[in-house]
Structure 1
Amino acid sequence: MFRHTKFLQFEAKPERPDPYYARKLQELIGGAYGEMTVTMQYLFQGWNCRIEGKYKDLIMDTATEEIGHVEMLATMVARLLEGAPATATAEAAQDPVMAAVLGGMDPQQAIVSGGGAVPADSNGTPWNGKYIVASGNLLADFRANAAAEAQGRLQTARLYNMTEDPGVKEMLKFNLARDTVHQKQWLRAIEELQADGLESDIAPGALLDEEDQTHNNTIWHLSDGPDGNKGTWSSGEDRIEYLMDPKPLGGPGSAPKPAPELYVTYAANGSGNGSTAAEPAELAEGDVETFYADGRWKNQVVGNSRASSTGDTKAEAQAEGRELARKRGVAHVVRRKDGEIAERHEYGR
């Protein structure tokens, strides 16, 4: 249940009307990082929270405050639009001063909302529920919340420098302060989730043993910038390895043969210049296969009668198989449990 109090959380009175600035202020209402976004983001996070107590209460307290922020900004927009032209716009536009006012004003504020705020951004794009993040994982959500408050404060700071109206500035000073404290609370809540043993550094903390261990601590140097490996992330005992010359691990990204009913342009014998497209090569002696048998994941060199290695998980066996194929300069095939080939990588051929 929600109850509305007929007083604003902070005063929203401009010194004078300014339809042009009213349009700019719409970004803080219905933009991707506006108050409507954090309102709905926190509400759904709170409603979806599976832990009663401090975390859920913090989320719901903040969510309800954000409803008040929407009201406060909408009130400011309506007051900035006071006296904005409502009729005879064609004749009014002939006056250079009035034309300038109309040129900056959002017509939706006059046509649709009758001189009030609209649930849209500063370009009139309607607010979208896809802006919100409410995953149910509090670590991932709180990180998204801190980022949303950072972006919201950044935009508020920019708008603060776009007005000289003392009344508007006073309200934005309050908004800046609330964005500051909300960033601090989410960052501290993240620390507390970890202290309480509910989450770790990585979200989610599951499947860390299942993931490909070869690739969970490397950064690929894939741009011309040479200095990515000079940060603290790539030094010290817990450094992330910087791969300065990474190689592609997959084959050509070719789509499969299309269904005839789709009428996709397709040459059965290969490319359009008459050359024949190469079909996936058969496994040759010496290639490496990763497959599932007898309750274990195994690696075996084609031509050998016994497996070279086994692993408890597919990721573990796959990493060992890949390394074996690299050393031998051969193909590495990974099969699903049903025996069908899921991946094929060539090393050295």
Structure 2
Amino acid sequence: MFRHQKELQFEVKVDNPDPMLARQIQEVLGGQFGEMTVMMQYLFQGFNCRGEEKYKDMLMDIGTEEIGHVEMLCSLISQLLDGASPEDQAEAAKDPAVAAIMGGINPQHLLVSGLGGMPTNSNGVPWNGSYIVASGNLLADMRSNLHAESQGRLQVARLYHMTTDEGVKATFRKMLARDRYHQYQWMAAIEELEAKNGVVVPATFPPEAEKESQPEAYEFWNLSEGDASSEGLWATGSAQDGTGDFVYVKEPVPKGQVPINPIPSESLHHDLNIKT
């Protein structure tokens, strides 16, 4: 059961209207790494979680928090759009410099949402359910969650430096703080799960199951010009699970055959049997 509370998690109050910034903020609302994505990702992971109750509880806690973040961003966008009527835009556009700036405004904020936030990115592309990851494997999902929070916080940090509006910055400071904690949270969960099951997903398919393919599990193939990549721990160190040592293959060679596919039936109209 979900229950809506009228108060926002944190105060949202802008100093001045800024339709251009409203368009940019759409990215962290409905973009690939926006709040809609992490909201849906955590909730679906939580809905489908099996096993230890604490993981389901944690996922539902943070997923529900992200619903609140979506509402905060909608409020922020709406406030930035206040006063952005078609008449005001037409008047402002009489100044060539202002007109050039306002050319970047998302017209859908006027035509579609009536000065409100939308489930789209900054270019108006609708949010897509394929953005989310909910595999049923806790470690794989937690790593995806860490990735999502890292990218989301990066985008909010970039937006933070794109505005001088102190009210907007105050909201972003709260979001940056929560995104920082969420990264800590996923790192802690990942560490706990790795201690239980090992570092490779899925843990139920151990290295021994690979049999003849074991050598390839530790080789780094140099497939670009130069050999600077040989200096990393991925090329000279040991596997994180202690099962072997990495090998740097400076001049890798193909180990497979040249693929030769038979010509399909002429009924497919492939034109491969054309005679000259």
**Same fold at TM > 0.5:** yes
Aligned alpha-carbon RMSD (Å): 2.0
Mapped to 2, the partners of 1:247 and 1:101 lie a distance apart of 54
Determine if the alignment matches structure 1 residue 210 to structure 2 residue 186. Answer: no
Q: Displacement of 1:105 after TM fit?
A: 1.1
After TM superposition, give the deviation of residue 91 of structure 1 in Å: 7.0
Question: SS at the partner of 1:219?
Answer: strand
Equivalent residue for 1:139? 139
Aligned residues: 268
| Superposition deviation, residue 95 in structure 1 | 4.2
Q: Max radius of gyration: which structure?
A: 1
Change (3 A) 1:177 1:114: same
Q: Report SS of the residue matched to 2:2.
A: coil
Residue 252 of structure 1 pairs with residue 258 of structure 2: yes
How many angstroms apart in 2 are the aligned matches of 1:248 and 1:98? 58
Q: Residue in 1 aligned with 2:60?
A: 60
Task: Give the counterpart letter for 1:200 in structure 2.
Answer: G
Deviates most, 153-162 or 186-195:
186-195
1:3 matches 2:3: yes
Structure 2 equivalent of residue 120 of structure 1: 120
Counterpart CA distance in 2 for 1:187 and 1:88 is 48
List aligned pairs for 1:15-164, cutoff 5 A.
15-87=15-87, 93-96=93-96, 99-100=99-100, 102-164=102-164
Tell which has more relative contact order, 1 or 2 (C-alpha 8 A, sep 6+).
Answer: 2
Tell me the distance in 2 between the aligned counterparts of 1:260 and 1:38: 49
Aligned partner letter, 2:198: S
| Alpha-carbon distance, 1:10 to partner | 0.7
Residues 206, 191 of structure 1: alpha-carbon distance in 2 compared, 3 angstrom cutoff = same
Change in 2 beyond 3 A, CA 1:205/1:111: same
TM-fit CA distance, 1:88: 8.5
Aligned to 1:177: 177
Alignment of 1:269-348 (within 5 A): none
Displacement of 1:236: 4.3
Q: Deviations over 1:41-65 (max 9, x none)?
A: 0011001111241111111100000
User: Residue 255 and residue 118 in structure 1: after superposition, are their counterparts in 2 closer, same or farther (change >3 A)?
Assistant: farther
C-alpha distance in 1, partners of 2:61/2:186? 13
Distance 2:262 2:99 in 1: 58
- Counterpart code for 2:204: A
2: distance between equivalents of 1:149 and 1:247?
39
Identify unmatched segments of 5+ residues in structure 2. 240-244
Residue number in structure 2 paired with 1:227: 228
**Aligned-pair identity (%):** 52
Residues 24, 237 of structure 1: CA spacing in aligned structure 2 closer, same or farther, 3 A cutoff?
A: closer
- TM-score when normalising by structure 2: 0.91
User: 1:77 corresponds to which letter in structure 2?
Assistant: I
| Contact 1:220–1:242 (Cα < 8 Å) also in 2 | yes
Quick one: which amino acid aligns to residue 23 of structure 2?
A: R
Report the secondary structure of 1:215's partner residue.
Answer: helix
Which one has a larger percent helix, Structure 1 or Structure 2? 2
What is the distance in 1 between the residues matched to 2:194 and 2:237?
23
Aligned to 2:186: 186
Give the partner amino acid of 2:146: A
Which whole-Å CA distance do the structure 2 matches of 1:115 and 1:70 have between them? Answer: 16
Contact 1:19–1:101 (8 Å) recurs in 2: no
